Homo-oligomer: A and B are copies of this chain.
Amino acid sequence: MSEQYIYSFQNGDGKNKKLLGGKGANLCEMTQIGINVPPGFVITTAACLAYLQNNELPPDLMTTVKQEIDKLESATGKTFGRGPDPLLVSVRSGSAMSMPGMMDTVLNLGLNSETLAGLISQTGDERFAYDAYRRFIQLFGKVALGISDEHFDEYFEAVKNRVGVSSDVALTADHLREISDKFLAVVRRETGKDFPQDVMEQLKLAVEAVFRSWMGKRAVDYRREFHITPDMANGTAVNICTMVFGNKGDDCATGVGFTRNPGTGENEMFGEYLINAQGEDVVAGIRTPKALHNMELEMPEQYSQLVTLRNTLESHYQEVQDYEFTIEKGTLYCLQTRNGKMNAAAMVKTSVDMFAEKLITREQALLRIDPELLEQLLHPSLDPDTTAEPIAIGLPASPGAASGKCVFDADLAEKLGKAGDKVILVREETRPEDIHGFFASEGILTSRGGKTSHAAVVARGMGKPCVAGAEGIIVDVSLRQAHVGTRVLHEGDVITLDGASGMVYEGAIATIEAQFSDDLQTLLGWADATADLKVMANADTPAAARKALEYGAMGIGLCRTERMFNASDRLPVVIDMILADTADERQAALDRLLPIQQADFIDLFSVMAPKPVTVRLLDPPMHEFLPTETQLLEQLQVLRLYRDVARGRHTALAAMDAILEMPKPFDELSEEFVNDVLIKKERMLKKVRELREVNPMLGHRGVRLGIAYPEIYAMQIRAILGATIECAEQGVQVIPEIMVPQVITAQELATVRRTVDDLTSQLEESFGTKLNFRFGTMIETVRACTRAAELAENVEFFSFGTNDLTQAVFSFSREDAENKFLPMYNDTGILQYNPFEVLDVLGVGQLIEMAVERGRAQRENLKIGICGEQGGHPESIRFCHHAGLDYVSCSGPRVPIARLAAATAKLRDKEFDTANG
């Protein structure tokens, strides 16, 4: 028995979008629930695939099409290809996923010399008929016969020129008839055949053309761009529908509507219409359409039908609908409906409203919102009405918009920021020692580096806008200015950044504040109640912790202690520690760091209590805290010159002062001071060379550092435990979590654990108290996954560091890959996603599952989470839920997104897309 390739609107399954396409399924659905849809039928996507495979239509397909056309004739009383009341049809594509404008459509099919005459006599409007005819010839000629538009346009323009008009509307019926004739001649010339007069032949060619358009370049590019895989949509259906006309008189109209206001979410009639017009006129902008509520006066009866249609659609689809309608001779037809696309605020409001109206359940209210959409609501954005032109464009590295004075170094940014100025930090690229400048700035702009550069990652973590790698901007710190083309930005000039688009503007552009509305709070409350996964934030400072709480974080999943080291009051001490030649010297520096770090933890714990705070012990290699070799060589070269130059020549030395970051001008410095600086820099250079690593990501870092220099971890652990005791004394109860990075074997954990236990005993004895904390490990090496059972013996929690783990699984590092070959891999489809943004289920995911299984087999109540950029990505969160994790931790501004994603993951728990690979 052969497969059924054709379904009439009366009997197609409205739920089967894969087979009938989205548009076709909705036409069937609407027909079957009693909405007045012009009669028609759908040719399935299966027929499309069969056509593409065999390069011909399935046998008998056109026979069945003919039978369906016969039914349309019966239903409408019109005749196809002949007679005074000719049946015209539209032939539209429609796949399971919406791909607007990507595939072909033919309207008014069924016109030929005979039916043209019928149309004229029936409508009495010769101009309308010829206009329809010449449009049909051109569109069919292009779509079905492959004739390029220019061949038609040439004649069309020639007639307009001859007549001396510039607008199509000015052409008369005679002109249009002449054009139609010329178009028929074009077809003859270009194809060697007459334009097909046989309307079934027209139909066959149109169906084939629509099918072919599935593999057209536009459609293929679109699917790749939007990651539409064959399991999501495979082939297009063809919808063949009786044409109805909104331009047959003043009892006719055409319009589009939204069942609610897509800009605000208000529950109101929304849309526009035109009386006596075709659908395309509404869009074309030649006449100005009216807002829908005007129709209540102009066409009261049809308006009331429209209200009924709107209510029927919403109550049936339980979703805001975007629909099209035509009124032909007083009769309302619905031509199409689909779920309405709205902005984030409207999505949130309609979710909360529709639940209140009992139209949808809470689950539906959550599921209908793409979590990523919330991003819009969480950052200030540029006034969309701005007409300003950007002066430069970079990568959209951290969303949000901000204006401020440009400042070219972190120290000045801090100084001005503290004085109350709004500043934008502008650097060629940023380094950890610029961190204090980040705190003081409204936004960050760099001329080098990508979305994962230091600037981008830190800015995202702080929720500040960042435009990175704006290569058109040449920063010259020594002259305190930047060049943008021929323009010069001086320090203090005001600029505006849009981190969502990567645009940079001169002057201050108005911005719109983030809208953390009551509705959003309500919705996220439902999400928290639904989800299994907890959502934590990655935060390193009290300020970031406070911000994270506002975003609804349920704790801190990752506090990177090294970020604390980079603040300007600590870095010199950290450098002293690194430069130390003996354990005693190192201990002296650590003794100075201890109270500072302990105070940091007290602040952080006080903000977060009683929520958990996970502190990761020092992770990066030591050389990250030092300047680079090249920087030092340059400084030394200048410094030696500086020392040797005669004191008289101040002018030449001013620039040097800046490079050397000297505390006062050269002539106020003593020779001893300069010599001391020189010696210190030489020592630094020596150390930098000593610490140099070929592959720093694979070098001496994490627990390997903690074991080589046990006094560093001891200081940090002491600070955490000391802070816990001090908090307790102030009545603040916290249970800190101590986390060890880069672990590969249980012996490492046992070694650190001994330090923890020793310090615990000492402190408990000194303070006569009992310490309560948890000890855990990052799982960020592959070996940690294979050894998860043994690791679980030693710890109470695991936290997956998916950035490092991804790097280990792929054997390429994020910065090297993203700057070199990863874009090429994504473009050519070798990898579908950037695995550093979307967790790689097929590789990294398998190791995570292995570690979860082995870890829990050893310790049933092991707490397991994930921290890293992917922890805030909905697709990755879905995986984490599926893998049975307890929490995800992500940067503060991603927390609301993660909360919603955690809920939808729970509601959608089923098999994953496994096509990434």
Interface string of A810-837 (1 = CB under 8 A from B): 1111011100110011001111000000
**With the chains together, A783 CA to B821 CA distance in Å?**
17
Known A811-B742, A811-B744; contact A790-B917, beta-carbon cutoff 8 A = yes
24 residue pairs from A and B, CB less than 8 Å apart: A693-B816, A694-B696, A694-B815, A696-B816, A697-B811, A698-B811, A698-B816, A699-B816, A699-B820, A704-B812, A704-B820, A704-B825, A745-B831, A745-B917, A747-B829, A782-B810, A782-B847, A783-B811, A783-B840, A783-B842, A786-B842, A786-B846, A807-B811, A808-B809
A742 contacts which chain B residues (CB < 8 A)? 811
B781 contacts A810, C-beta separation under 8 Å: yes
| Chain A residues packing against B (C-beta within 8 Å) | 693-700, 704, 707-708, 742, 744-748, 751, 780-783, 786-787, 790, 804, 807-813, 815-817, 820-821, 824-825, 828-831, 840, 842-843, 846-847, 917
B813 contacts A843, C-beta separation under 8 Å: no
**With the chains together, A747 CA to B826 CA distance in Å?**
11
Beyond contacts A707-B824, A790-B917: 16 other A-B pairs, Cβ-Cβ < 8 A, are A695-B695, A695-B813, A695-B816, A698-B807, A698-B812, A704-B825, A747-B829, A751-B828, A780-B811, A781-B810, A783-B842, A786-B847, A787-B843, A804-B811, A807-B811, A808-B808
- Residue of A744, A746, A790 ringed by the most chain B CB atoms within 10 A: A744
A917 contacts B811, C-beta separation under 8 Å: no
- Residue of A698, A747, A748, A917 ringed by the most chain B CB atoms within 10 A: A698
Known A747-B830, A786-B842; contact A813-B781, beta-carbon cutoff 8 A = no
A804 contacts which chain B residues (CB < 8 A)? 811
| Copies of this chain assembled into the complex | 2
A150 nearest CB across to chain B (Å): 33
A810 contacts B830, C-beta separation under 8 Å: no
Q: Of B697, B780, B824, B843, which one neighbours A695 at CB under 8 angstroms?
A: B697
- Residue of A780, A821, A847 ringed by the most chain B CB atoms within 10 A: A821
A708 contacts which chain B residues (CB < 8 A)? 820-821, 824
A693 contacts which chain B residues (CB < 8 A)? 816, 820
**With the chains together, A698 CA to B698 CA distance in Å?**
9
Known A782-B847, A808-B782; contact A700-B917, beta-carbon cutoff 8 A = no
A555 nearest CB across to chain B (Å): 27
Query: Nearest 4 A-B pairs (CB), nearest first?
Result: A698-B813, A783-B843, A699-B816, A781-B811
A818 nearest CB across to chain B (Å): 11
**With the chains together, A751 CA to B742 CA distance in Å?**
35
Residue of B nearest to A807 (CB): B698
**With the chains together, A700 CA to B823 CA distance in Å?**
12
**With the chains together, A430 CA to B149 CA distance in Å?**
66
A694 contacts which chain B residues (CB < 8 A)? 696-697, 813, 815-816
A809 contacts B830, C-beta separation under 8 Å: no
A870 nearest CB across to chain B (Å): 16
